[in-house]
Amino acid sequence: MKLNIKKTLRKAISAHKEGNLQEAEGLYITILHSHPQHSDANQNLGVLQTNKLIQFFQNKQYDDATKLAQSLTEKFPKHQLAWKLLGALLGQNGRYTEALNATQTAATLPPQDSEVYYNMGIILKELGKLNEAEASYRQAIALKADYAEAYSNLGVTLHELGKFNEAEAIYRQAIALKADYAEVYSNLGVTLHELGKFNEAEAIYRQAIALKADYAKAHSNLGITLKELDKFNEAEASYRQAIALKADYPEVYNDLGVTLHNLGKLNEAEASYRQAIALKADYAEAHRNLGVTLQTFGKFNEAEASYRQAIALKADYAEAHLNLTSIKKFHSQDEQYLKMQEIYLDKGTLEEQRCQINFGLAKACEDLGDFKHAFKHFSEGNALRKKLRNYDISQDEKLFEQIKINYQPIAQHSVDLDKIEKKLTPIFIIGMPRSGTTLIEQIISSDNEVTGAGELLFIDKFGHSMASGFSKVSKKALMGFRQEYLSELQNISNGNSIVTDKMPHNFLYLGLISAALPEAKIVHVKREPAALCWANYKQYFGTKGLSYCYDLADIISYHRLYENLMEFWKNSIGKRIYDLDYELLTTKQENETRNLIDFLGFDWDEKYLLPQNNKRTVQTASSIQIRKKVYQGSSQQWKKYKPFLDGALDVFK
């Protein structure tokens, strides 16, 4: 029977209007089978299928939507909506090249649609075409000035391009358009962190969390910034909150481990790293960090295994290579040596990683007796480190002068020893880094009634502002500093009444310490200057400070500042300070150890002569050396490099 086109079309339109879409679609298709060019049937079917496509998309029936979108673009090559949705759907399936083609086609068709450029930006970013993605997001914003989501994604792209200042400005525009945009607050916090604006980043993360309390990533990011601000207890709380919200979060377990390590909670740190690895077995950073903690425990074989696992997972992991070189002895240019050489020679290696590899190769060359190449790598590594730190000795020259100027008002408000409660006695072990402070703490903390607390940040944290003249000095301020410091010390005292604090740079604050903590003992460790300066130059310090250590001229200048300040303290509070000569300790161990113990007022015990038997954890660069007996000759090692120093250390003759 011949098809009655007019009758069938009327019936299709009626079904369409009444919402019988399946029937209408079938009738339109029937007409087009016999009359493919029928304009009304084509147009009406296109409208019906477009609505169906939108419905599929909204209902997340993505497979059906993709098939229909492809069909529509074939039938209607200028169907902008079909091309737009097809691009979005293909992008969701990871078919980014096809998605880009579809979206670019949509962009050529009217009307100009901001969402098309927004989608294109997402696809281009996934393809790694960040500059093109930036341009697409900017076009989306040009078409729709209040497009908060486009501002947000543009900010992410700018951040990835390293344009942090531009990213910050764009994120702030997104927030101005959408004040409750928690994700943008979190991303802005990341950018502020990169810019070193840690206090601002902290405030922004807290706003993100206020808007979205269950935002695990924001809690995690807040923890990272709090750690950077040395607010380790708060950082721990943030990480634990992130984990409570998202238990399978290996990155947070790893970051929590780092914070726990800094808090001295080493058993918990180890457990946290192991949990990160349990969740993500190929997590190279967690394996490396676990190695650091195991090394602190003195478990060198296990630490070495962790470092090797990190390198097996990430062959160019420069920091893990450096860690491994610190606990192994090179007997040949082995596989690791050759891999470090490969990383060193690779022009694509980033400066920070090249710096670390230089220090690793220097250690390897030193083990192999190749002091010429060791010196070359030390020189290159230090030059890179100084460049990355952007250090200028003048900043420390000003600090030292300000500390001396500000001592007098501090001394005028000194705490009266007879009028204070003395529950804890701190023992400060101070001096230049690498002077032997770790060994001295090891000796003193051999006493079971002494807690060796290591390098504590509390004096600098609570006292720097007052000591350097940035905050007002008063009796109340001095007592506040005292109470804050002793409160923190109490928390880590393990119930003992004597606690050692071996932060070497506390020599900066001896005036403040003597005024606020008159019961404290101060042990100043001195070492032969040339050996000391060289020991600092050859050490890669993972801490944020010590930036003067990466240039021999800076180290020598800093050593002069240190000696000058110690002379100032000797003239001001000399009776409080006990000088201990490291070289003399290594040659006349018992005599010098007895003198030290006598100064501290302890009863003599032979265990003070066996610091290597003290099994406490040590978190400094000396973690390996202190497991050995006290030995002589370490201060002569620098002389092996004399031929390459051009007389730089002869100033100490």
Residues 59 and 32 in one domain: no
Distance from chain centroid for Cα 513: 31
Provide the 10 A C-beta neighbour count for residue 316: 17
Contact predicate 549/621, CB 8 Å? no
Contact predicate 60/41, CB 8 Å? no
pTM over the 0.75 mark: yes
Beta partners for residue 425, in sequence order: 498
Residues 304 and 433 in one domain: no
Contact predicate 383/371, CB 8 Å? no
Q: Which residue has the tokens 């600098």?
A: 460
Q: Helix 5-17 and helix 21-34: axis angle, to 10°?
A: 160
Residues 77 and 124 in one domain: yes
Residues 243 and 155 in one domain: yes
DSSP 427: E
d(CA 637, CA 487): 41
Q: Which residue has the tokens 């269950």?
A: 214
Domain that holds residue 343: 53-367
Q: For the chain, give the number of residues.
A: 653
497 is a domain residue: yes
Assign residue 283 the CATH number of its domain: 1.25.40.10
- Domain boundary (367, 382, 417) is at 367
Close Cβ partners of 407 (under 8 Å, ≥ 6 residues apart):
511, 568, 572
361 is a domain residue: yes
Residues 226 and 134 in one domain: yes
Residues 434 and 343 in one domain: no
Successive 10-residue mean pLDDT values, the chain, 653 residues: 64 65 61 60 63 81 89 83 88 94 94 94 96 98 97 97 97 97 97 96 98 97 95 96 97 97 92 98 98 92 97 97 96 97 96 97 97 97 93 95 96 88 92 93 92 92 94 94 95 93 96 96 96 94 88 96 97 94 92 96 92 64 51 74 91 80
Residue 627: per-residue pLDDT = 46
388 is a domain residue: no
Pairing assessment for the beta strands 577-581 and 425-430 based on DSSP bridges: unpaired
Residues 362 and 419 in one domain: no
Residue 29: per-residue pLDDT = 60
d(CA 533, CA 475): 38
Q: How many domains is the chain partitioned into structurally?
A: 3
299 closest CA partner among 645, 628, 623? 623
381 is a domain residue: no
Distance from chain centroid for Cα 147: 33
Backbone φ, ψ for residue 501 (5° rounding): -125, 105
523 closest CA partner among 452, 606, 622? 452
